[in-house]
Amino acid sequence: MQIIKSIDSLRQALAPLAKEGKRIGLVPTMGALHEGHGALIKASVSECDVTVVSVFLNPIQFGKNEDLDKYPKRLEADAKLAESIGADFVFAPSVAEMYPDGDPMTLVRDEQLEGMYCGAYRPGHFRGVLTVVSKLFLISGANDAFFGEKDYQQVFLIERMVKDLNFNIKIHRVKIVREESGLARSSRNEYLTEEERAQALGIYNGLKAAKAAYEAGERSVLKIRDIVVKSIVAARGVVQYVEVASQKTLQKCNGALGEEKAVILAAAFFGKTRLIDNMELN
Ligand code: PAF
């Protein structure tokens, strides 16, 4: 496996492979790889001939008071993990390589959803994500790209961007990987103290209870949300948002759920750590 730091070198490495007709899979990450990323790499290795894992802590998707500086960085360990799963390349460019003129003036935005759910609390986050993901698609020329469903709004927006802008790439959604306790795997779980880690289960337990209520016939959006909110609060978490949205449009559901498939989206703080999770109601 090769670690590549420049855009030109990645293009030179991939061009002959693409010419031979090899299917190139891209797994975009910000590093601090865990089993959730492992599942994305595994999916790419099984679907594609060549797997590129990008490791780039993208500054333009972080707000001023967010955890950019504190975000765990460990390229060597990340490369080892990626290699052990079968990745062929780790693309780890510097900020100057990706943004040589400073913050880019051309940005990709989703007008409708960038300010909702996570976007309401992280202004500029999704345009930073969509911009860097577009760049990674164009740099790698990948045929396939793999994203985790834990970032449900993110994968939705990426799918929509691919459709709206005619990117020639297939997006694969990979199911949430959870710890044995049920806590969704996240690089930010590392910030949790042992006590907060136990409390953080309040999100998953709430989502599970809400889904059980739905399966038992509950259709009130208010009541479904309330189950999740109460579970987070009982676990001493601070709710940022809990919403029920349409899986198809990601617009908020109100009143009573009908035939359309919905998803519960939640974000909460445990101590200083902000975690997100979600659960589809099918
Ligand atoms: O999900 C992430 O880790 C990031 O948002 C992504 C998709 C790698 C873009 O920086």
Q: What is the pLDDT of residues 199-224, one digit of tens each?
A: 999 999 999 999 999 999 999 999 99
By annotation, the residues acting in catalysis are 37
Question: Nearest C-alpha to atom 2 of ligand 1 is from which residue?
Answer: 29
Question: Nearest C-alpha to atom 3 of ligand 1 is from which residue?
Answer: 29
Name the residue ranges covered by the structural domains of the chain: 2-174, 187-281
Which residues have CB under 6 Å of ligand 1? 28-30, 58, 61, 129, 132-133, 151, 154
Fold classified for 2-174: Rossmann fold (3.40.50)
Averaged pLDDT for residues 44-71? 97
- Helix, strand, coil share of the chain (percent; to 5): 40, 20, 35
Question: Nearest C-alpha to atom 8 of ligand 1 is from which residue?
Answer: 29
Q: Which atom number of ligand 1 is nearest to the Cα of residue 158?
A: 7
Kindly report the CATH number that applies to the domain delimited by 187-281. 3.30.1300.10
Residue 37: predicted pLDDT: 98
Distance (Å) from CA 95 to ligand 1 centroid: 14
Given pLDDT bands bounded at 50, 70 and 90, which one contains residue 173? Answer: very high
Residue 31: predicted pLDDT: 98
Q: Which atom number of ligand 1 is nearest to the Cα of residue 151?
A: 1
Residue 48: other Cβ atoms inside 10 A: 23
pTM for the structure as a whole:
0.97
Q: Which two tokens stand for residue 100?
A: 């040589």
